[in-house]
Amino acid sequence: MSRFAQRRDKIRRNLSKRNVDALLVTDFTNVAYLTGFTGDDSYLLVTKDRDYVVSDQRYTTQLGEECSDLELSIRGPGKKMLPFVSRLLTKLKIGQLAVEAQSMTIAFHAALAEAAKNCELVPVSGWVEKLRMIKDKDEIARTRVACDQARRAFEVVRATLTPEMTELQVAADLEYQARRFGGIGMSFPPIVAVGARSALPHASPTTQKIGADDFTLIDWGVNEGLYVSDLTRILVTGKISPKLRKVYGVVLKAQLAAIKAIRPGVTCEAVDHVARSIISKAGYGKRFGHGLGHGTGLDIHEGPRLSQGQSTVLAAGMIVTVEPGIYLPGWGGVRIEDDILVTRTGHEVLTSVPKELEACLVG
């Protein structure tokens, strides 16, 4: 049995628990997770004994190659998706249909309810997302590749960095290098922020030149084909000022302590607290305004979340970022981020870009 079939069987157990006839998976990422299909515009119907991919003729051959064990329900030109799905539900005599509440808009729900009038729609949350939190060997291996591609791309960009380059040029070069090393693109649009602009946690690259200040924050990651990586580093292009040394030291201390705390059985909020308490004791608590980290996988942000109030317990197979930061308006921000695998006995750091402050000096 394939790992995709095993995942669908776990979904089937939820059907019995909730006493519903089927789950209609409409989130394309969840469809990929449960089938191995890498296209889009397709749904998956998981029933108590069979599984159907609902798609169109563009993907007939691709579906046969990527998930030959599934039954296909292919609509032809001019046939709209929801009426087509409704006919399949009627054919299979589906009375109660679970739907993905987390990814379904009110408008889509209303349209589906109108099309499938003979079905009772039962909103459910997290059925697939909870499975996705625990990565199998293949998912971990692909994440390792994404991390290595990110490292290699960064090393080339760093080696060719000049003061005249703009934030936009650095971001573009990162993507070019990521593709050269086998990625299909970036995990997300890279953040490249010079000096005071690095105080914006999600700064968009501009025409600001790298040489305009003494340091630059770069947040990037690579999509290796399905799975993604996520890193942040500071590059020092000028002098290490006393203030930068102090702030960077606090952030690095918080990150290393939080990583050390990661192991099975520890709650997400406990790991967040480790880093947050160090930053708060240093007097920067109000300048760390986001969660410590998040899961990565098929999406750049998925469960679990390392944050206050998150009681999820870490388990072997989870992959999370650890990215504490301090942001000082008018001066700049420091964030250090790595991807961490929770193992049976503790953790493993999947990213290997140097982060000691002296190692961040360019030139």
Average pLDDT over residues 210-224: 98
Instruction: Please name which of 249, 174, 196, 214 lies closest in space to residue 362, comparing C-alpha atoms.
Output: 214
Predicted confidence at residue 43, as pLDDT, reads: 97
* Token pair of 18 as six digits: 């909730």
Asked whether residue 286 carries a pLDDT value surpassing 90, the answer given is yes
Does residue 159 share a domain with residue 172? Answer: yes
Instruction: Please name which of 359, 358, 340 lies closest in space to residue 350, comparing C-alpha atoms.
Output: 340
Does residue 239 share a domain with residue 99? Answer: no
Does residue 226 share a domain with residue 118? Answer: no
- The CATH number for 290's domain is 3.90.230.10
Predicted confidence at residue 60, as pLDDT, reads: 93
Asked whether residue 363 carries a pLDDT value surpassing 80, the answer given is no
Do 187 and 146 contact (CB within 8 A), yes or no? yes
Does residue 253 share a domain with residue 149? Answer: yes
- Measured CA to CA, the distance from residue 346 to residue 363 in angstroms comes to 37
Q: What is the mean pLDDT of the chain?
A: 97
Asked whether residue 1 carries a pLDDT value surpassing 90, the answer given is no
- Measured CA to CA, the distance from residue 361 to residue 363 in angstroms comes to 7
Does residue 158 share a domain with residue 128? Answer: no
Predicted confidence at residue 358, as pLDDT, reads: 96
- Measured CA to CA, the distance from residue 216 to residue 183 in angstroms comes to 24
Does residue 203 share a domain with residue 105? Answer: no
Does residue 85 share a domain with residue 161? Answer: no
Instruction: Please name which of 89, 156, 147 lies closest in space to residue 120, comparing C-alpha atoms.
Output: 89
Q: How is residue 191 annotated by DSSP?
A: E
DSSP string, 84-95: HHHHHHHHTT--
For residue 242, how many other CB atoms are within 10 A of its CB? 8
Does residue 156 share a domain with residue 18? Answer: no
Distances (CA, A) of 42 to 180, 193, 202, 208, 248: 30, 38, 32, 42, 46
Total residue count of the chain as it appears in this document: 363
Q: What is the CA radius of gyration of the chain?
A: 23
Asked whether residue 253 carries a pLDDT value surpassing 80, the answer given is yes
Do 61 and 54 contact (CB within 8 A), yes or no? no
Peptide bond into 189 cis (omega under 30): no
- Residue-wise over 224-237: b if at least 16 C-beta within 10 A, else e? bebbbbbbbbbbbb
Number of separate domains in the chain: 2
Predicted confidence at residue 355, as pLDDT, reads: 98
Asked whether residue 269 carries a pLDDT value surpassing 80, the answer given is yes
Does residue 312 share a domain with residue 180? Answer: yes
Predicted confidence at residue 31, as pLDDT, reads: 97
Final residue before a domain boundary, out of 87, 108, 132: 132
Domain membership of residue 193 as a residue range: 137-360
Phi-psi region of 132 (alpha: psi -120 to 50; beta: other; left: phi over 0): alpha
Does residue 247 share a domain with residue 283? Answer: yes
Do 282 and 257 contact (CB within 8 A), yes or no? no
Percent of the chain residues topping a pLDDT of 70: 100
Does residue 239 share a domain with residue 108? Answer: no
Do 343 and 317 contact (CB within 8 A), yes or no? no
Does residue 263 share a domain with residue 122? Answer: no
**Centroid of chain to Cα 38:** 16
- The CATH number for 11's domain is 3.40.350.10
